Each structure stands twice: as C-alpha cells, then as structure tokens.
C-alpha cells in the first residue's frame, strides 16, 4: 500500500507561490543552490531560479551558515515567486532571522540544532510566520546517544543505520507534536542505498508526515544518478515520498532533470508497465507523472554525422521547460534516425554534411549543420502549435 501522508502547504504568502506537499498532490521536485549567495548575485540568481521553475523545480533550498547568508537569501526571497528553503545547522538564531523574510521553509537537523527550547523558539516563529519545517535527519550527523547506540560498524543485517535515522526523526516529531506544530515534513538521508530505502519504509508505516526522500552525497553525475535511481525508484513506485531531491556533484539543472526522469520511471513501474508482479497503483503513478518532453537520444558512435552531445547540452534545459507531452529524438546518424525513432513527435539526425529533421519518421527538412539549431527551433514551434491545436479539439 502506498504511504498516505497528510497535506502541508509551503509558501502561499506575500508574493510566494503555494506548493502543496503530501496527500494526492504531485510529488514535488526540488534542488539546492550550489554556491554561497552574495548580494551581488541576487539579480542573476533570480533569473536562474526562473529557469529552474520552468524546468519543473518547485522548491529551492539554500545553505545558510551565518546571519550574513540569511540576509542575502532573505533579500532573494523578496525577489522571486518560487518558495525558498533555508538549511540551518548549529545555530537556531539563524533560523529565527530567516523567518523575518518571506522564506517558506526551514530545514533543521536534530543532531546539531540544540535542545528542545531552541527547537520550540523556531517552531513558535514558524507558526507565526506560516513557514513549514523540515526535520532533516542525516546518517552522518545523528545525536550522540544514537551514534553510541547504533555504531556505524554494526551489522547491516540488523538495520542499525535505518533504525537510528527513524528514531531520530520520531523523537523530533514527538517534540513538534507536543508543541502543536503540524506544518512539518521529514527526511532521513544516508549515503547507503539500502539504509535509505529501509529507513523510509519503516517511517512510512509509522507516521502520516510527508516524506522528503533522497540519497545524500550520492556522487558525481553518472554515479549519483545511478545510486539515486536505485534508492528512489522503488520508494516512489511504492507510494513513499512526497518530494525529492537528487543530490549530485553537478548542476542544479541536472539535478532537476534527473529527478524528473526518476519520477517518470517510478510512474511506469507503479502503473505496471514493466513488471507484472508489481500491482499497479493508479494514484501513485498519477502523483509522479507530469507534462513535459520525453527526450530520446542515441549514445553516439563512429557512424555519427551529427553532434548529439553538443546539441543535447544546448537544448535540454529548453526542452525540459516545455509544458507539453511530446517526444523529441536526438539521433547521431541515419541508422538511428527516422527509422528507429519513427515514433517521435519531432527528431533530428545527421547524414553526411547535412542535418535531417523528421516527424514520426518522415523527413520534413534537410539543412546544413550550421543551420541545425535555427531549423530545429522553427520545427519545434510548429510541432508545439500542432499539439496545442489537438488538445483544443
């Protein structure tokens, strides 16, 4: 059975968009800002956030290590409509300062934020300001007594790391409940795939709090996507997880793309597309599916007549920002071009010194390689108009 969580709201005040997490809402994709933010960066940051929003990112988190960072992130929150989250460690006063601005969510770590009175001060101000709180438990920064109780060298067969994560989360949820604060979600992250899956499965059986899922320190692009997929696809397909971040040593844009593809893969499994032994959950699949482009591309080989890698790097952010359910094929040669990608709504490939653009296997345009981007842009616009007209009909 899928995890049926309660619904919480993030944002929805001042100029900040409201994002619903939990219940039967669409699973929210988020990412984290990669650099320290300064006041000089705010205009460019606002523009980049707009681009992330167009790609399907619903929530953006910032590390806030000190009061100067709180001021910068707070000023940025005044400039954008996407809900921003502040990630706080060690000093609860930073969290209090963040909530003087329209920051929609605060993440605190029970392993290092301090005693219950400090937590209480954060909760009281969050309730006053309408901010949500994420209890963010990490395997690497558990409270000392849990590190002593569940040492890292314990046998993995006894679920020691998973149990420690769950116990830390449940302790903090109990405090939140005692203080009557309900606008809360939970994450339990480990770098281990099995630990991540076990912890979230255990807590999903014990709480109705929405769950933020992810693998911490997953690695560089390829390794990080592989490890995140292995952990997150089974959870999402089971209905566990209300928001996710794919943590990569790479760009925010690639984190968003990876999260979208992971959610899409989990939706196919939940709907029973790949495996007969998994019972399809229509509700689970619906929470994971979103409009947007499906990109089909060949890996490229010695036959290639078209630079698929360069074209993809230029076009992927724009393609993932399209809110239309279409398929686009980026193929390297005529072998993998119109024939093998004949189902694509729009495709591009190379042949000799020419570039072929095709729809559903039929070549519609042949241009020189230097004209590929301009020609593709025109054909994409025409394809989108056709899709829009069909939707109206």
CATH number, position 245: 3.20.20.20
Residue 235 lies in a domain: yes
* 259 or 151, greater pLDDT: 259
pLDDT recorded at residue 1: 59
pLDDT at 3 over 80: no
pLDDT recorded at residue 277: 43
pLDDT at 110 over 80: no
Same domain, 164 and 91: yes
**Which band of pLDDT confidence, cut at 50, 70 and 90, is reported for residue 314?**
very high
**Which band of pLDDT confidence, cut at 50, 70 and 90, is reported for residue 279?**
very low
Whole-model pTM: value is 0.88
Same domain, 218 and 321: no
Residue 2 lies in a domain: no
pLDDT recorded at residue 140: 81
Give the domain range for residue 168. 8-288
The rounded mean pLDDT for the chain is 89
pLDDT recorded at residue 336: 64
- Among candidate residues 324, 316, 282, the one with its CA nearest the CA of residue 296: 316
Same domain, 233 and 101: yes
Same domain, 53 and 149: yes
Same domain, 122 and 248: yes
Q: For residues 298-302, give the mean pLDDT.
A: 80
Domain boundary, last residue among 236, 269, 288: 288
C-alpha distances (whole Å) from 125 to each of 70, 129, 322, 373 are 16, 6, 38, 51
**Which band of pLDDT confidence, cut at 50, 70 and 90, is reported for residue 114?**
confident
pLDDT recorded at residue 93: 96
- Of 89-93, 241-245, 315-319, highest mean pLDDT: 241-245
* 2 or 54, greater pLDDT: 54
Same domain, 306 and 246: no
pLDDT recorded at residue 115: 82
Same domain, 238 and 361: no
Same domain, 364 and 232: no
pLDDT recorded at residue 280: 44
Residue 3 lies in a domain: no
Q: For residues 68-75, give the mean pLDDT.
A: 97
* 246 or 290, greater pLDDT: 246
Q: What is the tens place of the pLDDT at every residue in 155-196?
A: 445 678 899 999 999 999 999 999 999 999 999 998 889 999
- Among candidate residues 35, 84, 79, 24, the one with its CA nearest the CA of residue 57: 84
pLDDT recorded at residue 174: 94
pLDDT recorded at residue 152: 61
Token output for 17:
């968009």
Residue 310 lies in a domain: yes
Same domain, 187 and 318: no
Q: Is 19 helix (H, G, I), strand (E, B) or coil?
A: strand
Same domain, 247 and 381: no
Sign of CA dihedral 261, 194, 198, 90: negative
Q: For residues 240-262, give the mean pLDDT.
A: 96
pLDDT recorded at residue 275: 44
Q: What is the tens place of the pLDDT at every residue in 321-369?
A: 998 889 999 988 876 667 777 889 999 998 888 899 999 989 999 999 8
**Which band of pLDDT confidence, cut at 50, 70 and 90, is reported for residue 282?**
low
Q: At what angle do helices 42-54 and 67-77 cross, to 10 degrees?
A: 60
Token output for 35:
């650099």
pLDDT recorded at residue 366: 94
- Among candidate residues 59, 141, 65, 120, the one with its CA nearest the CA of residue 98: 65
**Which band of pLDDT confidence, cut at 50, 70 and 90, is reported for residue 302?**
confident
Lowest model confidence (mean pLDDT) among 87-96, 225-234, 379-388: 379-388
pLDDT recorded at residue 116: 85
* 276 or 295, greater pLDDT: 295
Length of the chain: 393
Q: Residue 134's Cα: distance from chain center in Å?
A: 15
Q: Residue 300's Cα: distance from chain center in Å?
A: 28
Q: For residues 275-287, give the mean pLDDT.
A: 63
Q: What is the count of structural domains for the chain?
A: 2
pLDDT recorded at residue 307: 85
Domain boundary, last residue among 239, 254, 288: 288
Domain boundary, last residue among 288, 319, 339: 288
């Amino acid at each position: 059975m899928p995890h049926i969580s309660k619904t919480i709201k993030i944002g929805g005040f001042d100029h900040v968009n409201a994002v619903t997490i939990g219940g039967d809402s669409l699973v929210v994709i988020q990412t984290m800002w990669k650099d320290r933010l300064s006041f000089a960066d705010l205009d460019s940051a606002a523009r980049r956030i707009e681009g992330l929003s167009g790609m399907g990112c619903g929530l953006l988190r910032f590390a806030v290590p000190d009061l100067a960072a709180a001021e910068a992130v707070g000023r940025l929150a005044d400039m954008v409509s996407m809900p921003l989250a502040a990630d706080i460690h060690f000093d609860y006063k930073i969290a209090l300062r963040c909530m003087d601005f329209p920051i929609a969510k605060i993440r605190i770590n029970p392993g290092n934020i301090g005693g219950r009175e400090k937590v209480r001060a954060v909760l009281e101000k969050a309730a006053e300001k309408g901010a949500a709180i994420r209890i963010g438990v990490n395997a690497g920064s558990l409270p000392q007594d849990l590190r002593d109780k569940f040492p890292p060298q314990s046998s993995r067969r006894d679920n020691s790391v998973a149990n420690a994560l769950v116990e830390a989360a449940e302790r903090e949820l109990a405090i939140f409940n005692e203080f009557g604060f309900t606008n809360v979600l939970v994450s339990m992250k480990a770098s281990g795939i099995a630990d991540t899956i076990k912890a979230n499965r255990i807590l999903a059986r014990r709480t109705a709090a929405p769950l933020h899922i992810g693998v911490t320190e997953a690695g560089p692009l390829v390794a990080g996507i592989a490890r995140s997929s292995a952990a997150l696809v089974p959870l999402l397909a089971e209905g566990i997880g209300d928001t996710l971040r794919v943590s990569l040593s790479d760009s925010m844009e690639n984190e968003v793309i990876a999260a979208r593809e992971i959610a899409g893969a989990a939706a196919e499994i939940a709907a029973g597309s790949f495996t007969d032994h998994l019972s399809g959950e229509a509700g689970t699949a619906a929470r994971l599916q979103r409009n947007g482009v499906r990109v089909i591309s060949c890996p490229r080989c010695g036959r290639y007549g078209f630079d698929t890698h360069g074209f993809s790097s230029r076009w992927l952010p724009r393609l993932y920002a399209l809110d239309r359910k279409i398929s686009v094929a980026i193929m390297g040669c005529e072998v993998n071009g119109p024939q093998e990608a004949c189902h694509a709504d729009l495709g591009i490939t190379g042949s000799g010194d020419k570039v072929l653009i095709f729809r559903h296997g039929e070549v519609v345009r042949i241009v020189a390689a230097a004209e590929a981007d301009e020609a593709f842009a025109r054909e994409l616009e025409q394809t989108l108009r056709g899709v829009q007209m069909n939707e109206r009909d």
